[in-house]
Structure 1
Amino acid sequence: MGLEKQWITYGKNQEYTGYLAKMDCVNENLPAVILIQEIWGVDAHIQDVTERFAQAGYLAFAPDLYARNGKRLEDLSTDRIDEARSFMDSLPHSVWNNLEERQKAMSELPEKKRSRVVKTYERMFGGMNNAEYIEQLLVTSEYLREECLVSKGEGVASIGFCMGGALSGLLACRDRQLKGAAIFYGNAPSEEEQQNINCPVYGFYGEQDKRISDQVPYFAKQMKSKGKSFHYKIYPNTGHAFFNDARAAYQIDSARDAYQKVLTFLHEILLT
C-alpha cells in the first residue's frame, strides 16, 4: 500500500492551501490529524511528518500558514526561508535570542543577502499573526470534519511543533469540537485561554529548552486547577526541536518515545 499525497486548496473562497496525505487504499471514514508547522513553514520535514501520520492510518493535513490564494508571501517564500534558516543554523543557538549578537552577525552579510535575511527573519519571528493563523486552523478543522469526503463526520486532532505547538494549544482553546491537541515544545496558552479548553492536551518538551520547559509545571498546575486534562513529558538532556530529524537538534531517543506516545494519544482520543 502506498500514500496519496497532494496539495489542495480549501476555504470559502479557496484561499487556503494545505498538504494532504492518506493511505491510497482508504477513501472514507478516516479520523484527521492537523499537523501545524514550525516557523519554517510546510517544508520537506513537515511534509515528511505528515506522511508518517498518514502511514499510521490517519488523514494527515498540514495547512500552509504562509500562503494565500495559492501563493507564498514574498518574504516567506521557500527560497527566502531556506536562506534565512541556513544563516541561523550557522550561528550558535545562544545567538538566536541575543538581539545584539544576532544583529552583529547579520551586519556581516553581503548587503543584498542581509536585506533579504533581515526581512524574512522579521516576518517570521516578529510578525506572527496568531489571530490570522488560528482563523485558518479553525477553517481547516471545519473543512476536515464537514467537507473532506475522506474524513467527513470523523474526529479531528492537532499536533504542532514550536510555533505550531503554541498554535495547537490555542486551537484547543478555540475549537470546541477538537478531540485533542499535542504540543511539541510550544508555549502554553494564557491562563485566560485555558478556561476554554474542552479536550485532552499532551505536551512534549526538552529539558534544556528552558525558556519553554520551565513554564510547563505551572501550566500543568493551572490545567489541573481548572479540571482540564493535561499530560506531559520533559525529556532529560534534550533541547528544542528534538523531533526535527532534518536539524542538528534532533534527539533520536526522545523523538522515538514522543512518537510512540503521541500515536497512543491519537488512538485514545480518535479511535476509542
Structure 2
Amino acid sequence: MQNLKDDFDSLVAKTSLSDGVDRRGFLKTALGTGFAAAVMPVTAQSVIKTDTTGLTAGEISITVKGQKVPVYRAQPEGKANLPVVLVISEIFGVHEHIADVARRFAKLGYLALAPELFVRQGDARAYTSIPELQKNIISKVPDEQVMGDLDAVVAYAKENGGNTDKLGITGFCWGGRITWLYSAHNPNVKAGVAWYGRLVGEQTELTPAHPVDIAANLKTPVLGLYGGKDAGIPLDTVEKMKAALAKGGSKSEFVVFPGSGHAFHADYRASYVEGDAREGWQRCVAWFKEQGVA
C-alpha cells in the first residue's frame, strides 16, 4: 500500500489551483478538455494534474454501427501488451477530470480508454443544469447501446496494444452503475471498481436491469466505493446489493466512506474529499492488481 500512496502523492505533487479564472471558460468542445456547464461552479481546476510525459494520449475515434464514438486514450508511449482499463464518465461526459483519471492509469502502465458514451444523444457538456441534462441526454441513452460501444472499445484495445486478458473497468456515478452492468455483460472483464454508482431503480425499456438485478449471477469481482452520506444512494440499497451478491457467491466487496457524500472523488467539485479520494484510488489500484488486471 505504501507504493500506492507514493503513486498518489506523485500525482498530487503536480497540483495547481485556478487563481481568478472564469470558471465558465473551462467549457471546451474537444474531448477531455472542458468541464460540463452543468457542474458549475466548480471549486477550481482539478486538484490533480497528470501530465502526458512518457505517454501517448489524446482523442481517437471508433466507428460502431456507422457512428463515430470519440474515445480519450492514454497509454505508456511505445509499449504493447498492456493491461486495459475502461474509464466510464459521470453524466457530464468525458471532460478533463475523466481524461486525467485515464492518464493516471496510463502512468501506472495501463492502456486506459474513456469513451464518450452519449455522443448519439448530444453533447452532455452543453447543458447548464442537471435536470436539463438528465431529460435531454441521459434519459435517452439505452443500456444496450452502451454495452455495444464498450464491446467495440475492448475490440479496439485488443487490436492496438492492449492485453484484453487483463481487462478492468471503473466508473463514476452514472459510470459506476455501468461498471456493474458491463462486468456482468462481458465475461472477459477480470475486475471492476464502481464509484458511487446507483444500485437500484425502475426497470424500463432503455434500462431493463440495474446492478441489484444482475448481482446474483455476477462472476466478475467488483469493488464498490460509496459515500455514507450520499443522499442519492441510501445505504439500505448498498445492503440490498450485498445480499443479492451473496446469493451468487460473488467475490465483490464494498467500502463505505462514512464522512463522504456523492462524488467524493471528483476533485473539480465541492463534493471532493481528499482523504477518501486518496484511499479510494489506492484501493482501486490495489483491487486491479489483486484480480490480475496489472
SS in 2 for 1:245: coil
Q: Does 1:131 pair with 2:144?
A: yes
Question: Which amino acid letter does the alignment assign opposite residue 116 of structure 2?
Answer: D
In the TM superposition, what is the alpha-carbon distance from 1:259 to its structure 2 partner? 0.3
Q: Does 1:8 pair with 2:57?
A: no
Which residue does 2:170 correspond to in 1? 159
Contact 2:93/2:124 (<8 A) preserved: no
In the TM superposition, what is the alpha-carbon distance from 1:130 to its structure 2 partner? 1.9
User: Deviation per CA, 1:69-93, whole angstroms, max 9, x where unpaired?
Assistant: xxxx54x253x13x33xxx5xxxxx
Contact 1:50/1:60 (<8 A) preserved: yes
Residue 192 of structure 2: which of 181, 202, 224 is its match?
A: 181
Which residue does 1:58 correspond to in 2? 110
Question: Which amino acid letter does the alignment assign opposite residue 202 of structure 1?
Answer: L
Contact 2:220/2:252 (<8 A) preserved: no
Matched residues, percent identical?
28
**Distance change (3 Å), C-alpha of 1:270 and 1:123:** farther
**Distance change (3 Å), C-alpha of 1:217 and 1:121:** closer
For residues 164-243 of structure 1, the aligned pairs below 5 Å read 164-188=175-199, 189-214=210-235, 215-243=237-265
In the TM superposition, what is the alpha-carbon distance from 1:132 to its structure 2 partner? 1.4
For residues 29-48 of structure 1, the aligned pairs below 5 Å read 29-48=81-100
User: Deviation per CA, 1:82-141, whole angstroms, max 9, x where unpaired?
Assistant: x33xxx5xxxxxxx7xxxxxxxxxxxxxxxxxxxxx4x4412343332221122112222
**For the residues of structure 1 that align with 2:238 and 2:268, how far apart are their CA atoms?**
26
The normalised TM-score by structure 2 is 0.72
**For the residues of structure 1 that align with 2:288 and 2:274, how far apart are their CA atoms?**
21
Give 1 or 2: higher helix fraction.
1
**For the residues of structure 2 that align with 1:186 and 1:249, how far apart are their CA atoms?**
15
User: Deviation per CA, 1:170-193, whole angstroms, max 9, x where unpaired?
Assistant: 001110111111110002234442
Note the residue ranges of structure 1 that are not aligned, 5 or more in a row.
89-95, 97-117
Contact 2:118/2:141 (<8 A) preserved: no
**For the residues of structure 1 that align with 2:193 and 2:151, how far apart are their CA atoms?**
16
Q: Does 1:248 pair with 2:294?
A: no
Question: Which amino acid letter does the alignment assign opposite residue 241 of structure 1?
Answer: A
**For the residues of structure 2 that align with 1:153 and 1:245, how far apart are their CA atoms?**
29
In the TM superposition, what is the alpha-carbon distance from 1:48 to its structure 2 partner? 0.9
**For the residues of structure 2 that align with 1:153 and 1:209, how far apart are their CA atoms?**
34
Contact 2:184/2:214 (<8 A) preserved: yes
SS in 2 for 1:19: strand
Which residue does 2:75 correspond to in 1? 22
User: Deviation per CA, 1:9-30, whole angstroms, max 9, x where unpaired?
Assistant: 2245463220000122x42111
The normalised TM-score by structure 1 is 0.78
**Distance change (3 Å), C-alpha of 1:164 and 1:271:** closer
Which residue does 1:92 correspond to in 2? none
Contact 1:37/1:163 (<8 A) preserved: yes
Which residue does 2:44 correspond to in 1? none
Residue 147 of structure 1: which of 131, 147, 159 is its match?
A: 159
Note the residue ranges of structure 2 that are not aligned, 5 or more in a row.
1-52, 200-209
SS in 2 for 1:158: strand
SS in 1 for 2:288: helix
Question: Which amino acid letter does the alignment assign opposite residue 183 of structure 2?
Answer: A
SS in 2 for 1:31: strand
**For the residues of structure 2 that align with 1:65 and 1:197, how far apart are their CA atoms?**
23
In the TM superposition, what is the alpha-carbon distance from 1:44 to its structure 2 partner? 1.0
SS in 1 for 2:85: strand
**Distance change (3 Å), C-alpha of 1:234 and 1:198:** same
